[in-house]
Structure 1
Amino acid sequence: MKTSATVSNDDINAGAQGKGLRNITAIEWCSLTLAGLGWTFESYDSFLLSLLLPTLALQFGLSKAQLGLFTSITAAGQIIGGILFGYVSDRLGRVRTALLCVCIYSLFSGAIAFAPNEHWFAALRFCGALGMGGTWTAGAALIAETWHASRRGKGGALMQMDLPIGAILAITISGIVSNSYGGLAGQGWRVLFMVGALPFFILFWVARKTPESPIWLERKQAKAHARSQAMAASQASGDALNVRGLVTAFGFIFFLQYLYWGVFTWTPTFLVTVKHLDFVHSLKFVLSLQFGAITGFLLFSAFVDRLGRRPMFLAYLLVGAAAVFVYILSANPWLLMVAIFFTGFSVNGIFAGAGPFLAEIIGNTASRGFLMGLAYNGGRLGGFIAPLVIGALASTAGGFVLGLATTIVAFIAAAVVVFFAPETRGKSLS
Structure 2
Amino acid sequence: MKVNTPIAGGAPASTKRAGIRSVTAPEWRALSLAGLGWTFESYDSFLLSLLLPTLALQFGLTKPQLAVFTSITAAGQIIGGILFGYVSDRIGRVRTALLCIGIYSLFSGLLAVVPNEHWFAVTRLCGALGMGGMWTAGAALVAETWHASRRGKGGALMQMGLPIGAIIAISIAGIVTELNGGLGGQGWRTLFLIGAAPFFILFWVARKTPESPIWLERKASAQRAAASRNAPRAQLNVRGLLTAFFFIFFLQYLYWGVFTWTPTFLVTVKHFDFAHSLKFVLALQFGAIAGFLLFSALVDKLGRRPMFIAYLLVGAVAVGVYIGSAEPLLILCAIFLTGFGVNGIFAGAGPFLAEVIGDTASRGFLMGLAYNGGRLGGFIAPLIIGSLATTPSGFVEGLATTIVAFAAAAVVVLFAPETRGKTLA
Q: TM-score, normalised by structure 1?
A: 0.96
* Map 1:77-88 → 2, pairs under 5 A: 77-88=76-87
- Alpha carbons 2:6, 2:147 under 8 Å: kept: no
- Alpha carbons 1:72, 1:384 under 8 Å: kept: yes
Aligned to 2:131: 132
In 2, Cα distance between the equivalents of 1:376 and 1:388?
A: 20
In 1, Cα distance between the equivalents of 2:41 and 2:130?
A: 9
- Alpha carbons 2:385, 2:398 under 8 Å: kept: yes
* Map 1:143-162 → 2, pairs under 5 A: 143-162=142-161
Aligned to 2:20: 21
In 1, Cα distance between the equivalents of 2:174 and 2:129?
A: 28
State the AA in 2 paired with 1:129: A
In 2, Cα distance between the equivalents of 1:421 and 1:41?
A: 31
* Map 1:107-256 → 2, pairs under 5 A: 107-226=106-225, 235-236=233-234, 239-240=235-236, 242-256=237-251
- Alpha carbons 1:268, 1:286 under 8 Å: kept: yes
Aligned to 1:281: 276
- Show structure 2 runs of 5+ residues with no match: none
Query: Which of 368, 387, 393 matches 1:373?
Result: 368
- Alpha carbons 1:16, 1:150 under 8 Å: kept: no
Percent of residue pairs identical: 77
- Alpha carbons 1:292, 1:341 under 8 Å: kept: yes
State the AA in 2 paired with 1:141: A
Query: Which of 245, 260, 268 matches 1:265?
Result: 260
Aligned-pair CA distance for 1:232 = 5.8
State the AA in 2 paired with 1:379: G
Q: SS of the counterpart of 2:224?
A: coil
Aligned to 2:380: 385
In 2, Cα distance between the equivalents of 1:315 and 1:30?
A: 31
- Show structure 1 runs of 5+ residues with no match: none
In 2, Cα distance between the equivalents of 1:99 and 1:183?
A: 34
In 2, Cα distance between the equivalents of 1:340 and 1:195?
A: 28
Matched positions, count: 422
Q: TM-score, normalised by structure 2?
A: 0.97
Aligned-pair CA distance for 1:10 = 3.4
- Alpha carbons 1:16, 1:148 under 8 Å: kept: no
CA RMSD of aligned residues (A): 1.4
Aligned to 1:314: 309
Runs of 4+ in 1 over 2 A off after TM superposition: 10-16, 226-233
In 1, Cα distance between the equivalents of 2:211 and 2:200?
A: 20
Q: Cα 1:313–1:230, aligned 2, differ >3 Å: closer, same or farther? A: farther
Q: SS of the counterpart of 1:149?
A: coil
Aligned to 1:42: 41
In 2, Cα distance between the equivalents of 1:11 and 1:59?
A: 51
Aligned to 1:413: 408
In 2, Cα distance between the equivalents of 1:315 and 1:371?
A: 27
Aligned to 1:404: 399
State the AA in 1 paired with 2:25: A
